[in-house]
Structure 1
Amino acid sequence: MRPSRRHPLLVPALLCALAVLAARPTDAAEKKAPGDGGTDAGISAQVARLYEDAAVATQQYEAGRLEAEAQRAKAQRLEALLDRERRGISVLHEDLGRIARAQYRNGGDLPLTAQIILAGSPDQLMRGQQVFSQTNLAVNNAIEKSRRAEAKLAADEAEAATAWQSLEKRNVELADLKRGIEEKLEEARWQLQGQADASVAAGSCRGAVRLDQPEVQVTAPWVTPVETYELSAGFGSGGSRWANRHTGQDFAVPIGTPVRSVGAGRVVKVSCGGAFGIEIVIEHAGGYYTQYAHLAAVTVDQGDQVTAGQWIGQSGTTGNSTGPHLHFEVRVTPELGSGVDPVPWLAARGVPLG
């Protein structure tokens, strides 16, 4: 976009926007944590870090995009002010021409001796001199005002153009940074999935990967199993991939998405074979169990106590799965076949899904 002469005068607002966007997210993908280098724990940790970095980069990119849209809206509203200023300068130029013509008609171009000779009386001479002085003053004022207006317009447009170029450049940088992190994250996700598939094929679970999850205070006793999601196959729905009906609620999420325990409880099962691929089952108070299946990695061991919102694994597409998602079940026993619909069960605990 070329800013040229179509941008507003309120440049400070643009400069403030650039200051807000000055902080760049840490490109953690370029840093290796202890244990990185192809190990199971390393790739899981890398995915987790990149997942967080991608979220930060997306937030900053969206903030920059919204700020640019807001400034463009201001430009449209304030364009009228620039047009008015340009029209004012045009009027000043017309006034200068009119004053010059009036001065000529009133004899302003005649020498004083000629004016004395041509004057019919002293009064006429004095009146002519008074008009001449007023005309000269008006001309000088008009010229000075026109020069100031033109200089201000030029300075405002130049400063606005510079600010817009800086904002556009910053938004391009944010977009490139976001795209770069997402590309690294996608590559790391499939490396993680490859390791998970190898474990399932071998029938040997890799064990818990201890990840440093962010310090997020979860005050509610129940939460969704993933933070951001789209609901896909629901409880009881039909399909060729299920022997009878779908026994849980699917959450469509990318590989490597942190999976959370929906409530406090104890891990009673961690396995990595069969139709569910890598799965976790947690026992909660009240006689209910929750299952998390098709995972790419687990971060807990059997027997661990967990809290609501605690990371227990990373989503994937292991087992009988057509694509990356989390299969979530609520059961009255630890075993398959005792499931209840997770959507009303969570809603009754203050966690509506939508």
Structure 2
Amino acid sequence: MRSPRRHPLLVPALLCALAVLAARPTDAMDEDGGSGSGTGIGAQVARLYEDAATATRQYEDGRREAEAQRAKAVEYEKRLDRQRQRIDTMHEDLGRFARAQYRGGGGLPLTARMILADDPEELMRGQRAVSRVDLAVSKAIGKSLRAEGRLAADEARARAAWQALEERNASLAELKKRIAGKLEAARSRLEGQADASVAAGSCPGAVRLDQPDVRLGRSWVSPVETYTLSASFGSGGSRWANRHTGQDFAVPVGTPVRSVGTGRVVKVSCGGAFGIQVVVQHAGGYYTQYAHLAAVAVDQGDRVGPGQWVGQSGSTGNSTGPHLHFEVRVTPEMGSALDPVPWLSQRGVPL
């Protein structure tokens, strides 16, 4: 099950955002100067992660706008076809009227027809009626031609807007590809450094990431924002001595991991089955654990709020792939775990 975040963006701002995004990843790549520091690469991954999400949202917004412009152009073309059909019908009607006039003596001068007519007054009345019909038909044709011109201009503008959006989307797609490549390389470096730290038994210092706006208006949140649930609480497997003690969230390396609620960091450690981990104490005697991290963003003793980043996901410790292992406990140590899914659900966080 996924829990995606969406931020609607105005398409006219795409070019500006494109320029900003194009610059940011380069700055992030150069920030640690190639020193390989865990702090530099962790912050770089976090920024690239946000850039990739922003580029994806921009691309999707642009794609939807391009589809709307394309549909508008198609609708204009249909209206033009209907307008042309009406004009063709009027031309055919006018042609039939002219032919009928010619067969009825319409080719003679009006004076000659009045002399030859049995009832000149009736002829004049007919002539005035014909003139009014001619005038009405001429006005209708003129109006239709002007309408066709306006429709054609609108259609041209719609097509031009659609083509501009297609070109912009192509640029965004290329940008997404470049960011994804840089992100993959940065994640690989972050994972390698995390594994080295765990192997050496030396925990890296906190990566002080630029925190998002955590004024969510909620007391509890999920530990990651976008995810796929994998191993569940109590499930069996060869990797665990007894049963699985938490809920796993399959996410890429470097995904920001959030504190699910207000609390205090009581443990930051690395090594062992959980690799790099953070434990947070909450009111009511509950503790939450965030394990298999690639980096931490807090130190022991820090106060955290719901949604605040406490680390970045990884695959350290006893792990077969990138994911977050999340536990809810009644003590800070393992062996006192509760099923985290109903626990979060009771606090308004369905997974």
Q: TM-score range by the shorter chain?
A: 0.7 to 0.9
In structure 1, what is the Cα distance between the partners aligned to 2:337 and 2:93?
87
Letter in 2 for 1:214: P
In structure 1, what is the Cα distance between the partners aligned to 2:163 and 2:44?
35
> What is the aligned partner in structure 2 of residue 29 from structure 1?
25
Q: Deviations over 1:148-207 (max 9, x none)?
A: 344334333323322322233333333333333233222221221111112122222121
CA displacement at 1:308 relative to structure 2? 2.7
Going from structure 1 to structure 2, the CA distance change for 1:103 and 1:139 (only over 3 Å counts) comes to farther
The one of 283, 286, 289 aligned to 2:284? 286
> What is the aligned partner in structure 2 of residue 186 from structure 1?
184
In structure 1, what is the Cα distance between the partners aligned to 2:275 and 2:260?
20
Give the TM-score of the pair, scaled to structure 2. Answer: 0.83
> What is the aligned partner in structure 1 of residue 156 from structure 2?
158
Tell me which moved more, 75-84 or 247-256: 75-84
> What is the aligned partner in structure 2 of residue 104 from structure 1?
102
Residue 24 of structure 1 aligns to a residue whose secondary structure is helix
In structure 2, what is the Cα distance between the partners aligned to 1:312 and 1:209?
9
Tell me which moved more, 21-30 or 309-318: 21-30
In structure 2, what is the Cα distance between the partners aligned to 1:80 and 1:148?
17
> What is the aligned partner in structure 2 of residue 60 from structure 1?
58
In structure 1, what is the Cα distance between the partners aligned to 2:141 and 2:229?
70
In structure 2, what is the Cα distance between the partners aligned to 1:199 and 1:62?
39
Letter in 2 for 1:103: Q
Going from structure 1 to structure 2, the CA distance change for 1:36 and 1:48 (only over 3 Å counts) comes to farther
In structure 2, what is the Cα distance between the partners aligned to 1:300 and 1:194?
20
Letter in 2 for 1:319: G
> What is the aligned partner in structure 2 of residue 223 from structure 1?
221
Q: Deviations over 1:63-113 (max 9, x none)?
A: 233334445566677765444323212212212312321332243333457
Asked whether the 8 Å contact 1:18–1:166 carries over to 2, the reply is no
Asked whether the 8 Å contact 2:220–2:348 carries over to 1, the reply is yes
In structure 1, what is the Cα distance between the partners aligned to 2:154 and 2:294?
56
Letter in 1 for 2:222: T
The one of 26, 41, 44 aligned to 2:42? 44
> What is the aligned partner in structure 2 of residue 331 from structure 1?
329
Tell me which moved more, 152-161 or 326-335: 152-161
Going from structure 1 to structure 2, the CA distance change for 1:94 and 1:313 (only over 3 Å counts) comes to same
> What is the aligned partner in structure 2 of residue 175 from structure 1?
173
Residue 261 of structure 2 aligns to a residue whose secondary structure is coil
In structure 2, what is the Cα distance between the partners aligned to 1:146 and 1:74?
20
In structure 1, what is the Cα distance between the partners aligned to 2:14 and 2:334?
50
Residue 293 of structure 2 aligns to a residue whose secondary structure is strand
CA displacement at 1:334 relative to structure 2? 2.3
In structure 2, what is the Cα distance between the partners aligned to 1:244 and 1:291?
18
Q: Deviations over 1:231-250 (max 9, x none)?
A: 11111100111111111111
Residue 17 of structure 2 aligns to a residue whose secondary structure is coil
Going from structure 1 to structure 2, the CA distance change for 1:73 and 1:246 (only over 3 Å counts) comes to same
> What is the aligned partner in structure 2 of residue 19 from structure 1?
12
Q: Deviations over 1:27-65 (max 9, x none)?
A: 220224754533221111111111112222222222233
> What is the aligned partner in structure 2 of residue 353 from structure 1?
350
Residue 267 of structure 1 aligns to a residue whose secondary structure is strand
In structure 2, what is the Cα distance between the partners aligned to 1:122 and 1:287?
111
Asked whether the 8 Å contact 1:258–1:313 carries over to 2, the reply is yes
CA displacement at 1:298 relative to structure 2? 0.7
Map 1:125-136 → 2, pairs under 5 A? 126=124, 130=128, 133-134=131-132
Aligned residue pairs total 337
Letter in 1 for 2:12: A
In structure 2, what is the Cα distance between the partners aligned to 1:334 and 1:146?
80
The one of 259, 265, 269 aligned to 2:267? 269
Asked whether the 8 Å contact 2:232–2:248 carries over to 1, the reply is yes
CA RMSD, 1 decimal: 2.9
Q: Deviations over 1:121-157 (max 9, x none)?
A: 7547646754664565456445534543443343333
Instruction: Give the share of equivalent positions with the same residue, in percent.
Output: 68
CA displacement at 1:21 relative to structure 2? 4.6
Residue 234 of structure 2 aligns to a residue whose secondary structure is coil
Which runs of no fewer than 5 residues in structure 2 stay unpaired?
1-9
CA displacement at 1:264 relative to structure 2? 2.7
Going from structure 1 to structure 2, the CA distance change for 1:232 and 1:125 (only over 3 Å counts) comes to closer
Q: Deviations over 1:194-222 (max 9, x none)?
A: 11112122222121111111222144333
In structure 1, what is the Cα distance between the partners aligned to 2:216 and 2:114?
97
Asked whether the 8 Å contact 1:294–1:327 carries over to 2, the reply is yes
Give the TM-score of the pair, scaled to structure 1. Answer: 0.83
Asked whether the 8 Å contact 1:103–1:135 carries over to 2, the reply is no
Which runs of no fewer than 5 residues in structure 1 stay unpaired?
1-16
